Amino acid sequence: MYYGCLEDGSEVAVKMRSESSTHGLDEFLAEVNSLTKVHHRNLVSLVGYCWEKDHLALVYEYMSRGNLYDHMRGKNGDETLDWATRLRVVLEAAQGLDYLHKGCSLPIIHRDVKTTNILLGQNLRAKVADFGLCKTYISETQTHISTNAAGSAGYFDPEYYHTGRLTESSDVYSFGVVLLEIATGELPILLGHGHIVQRVKQKMATGNISSVADARFGGDYEVTSMWKVVDTAMACTADSSDRRPTMAAVVVQLKESLALEEGRGDSGTRVSPTSDTAAFASTYGPSAR
């Protein structure tokens, strides 16, 4: 990705197509096709594109604050994001994905939802980026897309991987992994420790949310808000797609979680991560589905 500046002073990000491979051309065309159709405040805008001989480039609006992955880990000299900010960022990303699934004339499935593809602009406003792997339904009656599995390790929907049947719920699964990342501060896959879904399930069984939450919060978060997000994430990452919520339902849950966290801040109270945790576990912790 390259930084650029247009004649009118607008800042842009330029993505060059990878060395002339057929796959790179397919991704380039898919991204152009999708981004010319979608317009939403939480999706990165396509300013234009260039295609000159073997040189292909996409020109995007510039997102000056980088990506969610780096900000959670305090890279580039920034402080790690607090719980309220992480919640607001993923809520905005969820709204962008919900638009792709239900707001377009035909559903668009992103297929590569991850924290590095959630970009941040001024005031840390979030937008979903990188549509190179996306797929679009071809009719209103279509229920899935049959295609070879593609995506990023750790975020893959296992059902899609095994069946080749791509649906909106595949994005929901990937987004559930993103939610677990923002709650725990951990990578999706840790060598020798398995996948984040299994790791969080084991920790949730203790009934103590402080064993799940990112230690960098220092206990500074509203317990019910944290449980709600973790529980929503576990629903998103259910093995069977028909047990997962829609992105619209996820948006509702995240709005409620953010309201709980912001309400705590307004009241000036600080909830200890270990206080009354077991009481919340029955509602927002592990449950039969």
- Contact between 134 and 34 under an 8 Å Cβ cutoff? The reply is yes
Q: Measured between alpha carbons, how far is residue 127 from residues 44, 96, 112, 196, 285 in Å?
A: 5, 7, 14, 24, 29
Cα distance between residue 197 and residue 161, in whole Å = 16
Residue 242: active-site member: no
User: Any idea what DSSP says for residue 101?
Assistant: I
DSSP secondary structure letters along 257-287: HHHHHHHHHHHT----TTTTHHHHHHHHSS-
The set of residues, in sequence order, having a beta carbon less than 8 Å from that of 251 and lying 6+ positions away, is 91, 94, 95, 98
- Contact between 178 and 235 under an 8 Å Cβ cutoff? The reply is no
Query: Residues 26, 54, 98, 112: which is the catalytic one?
Result: 112
Cα distance between residue 207 and residue 221, in whole Å = 16
Alpha helices in the chain (DSSP H): 22-35, 68-72, 83-98, 158-163, 168-184, 196-204, 223-236, 247-267, 277-284
Cα distance between residue 149 and residue 236, in whole Å = 19
Phi/psi for 249 (5° steps) reads: -70, -35
User: Any idea what DSSP says for residue 165?
Assistant: E
SS3 144: coil
Catalytic residues: 112
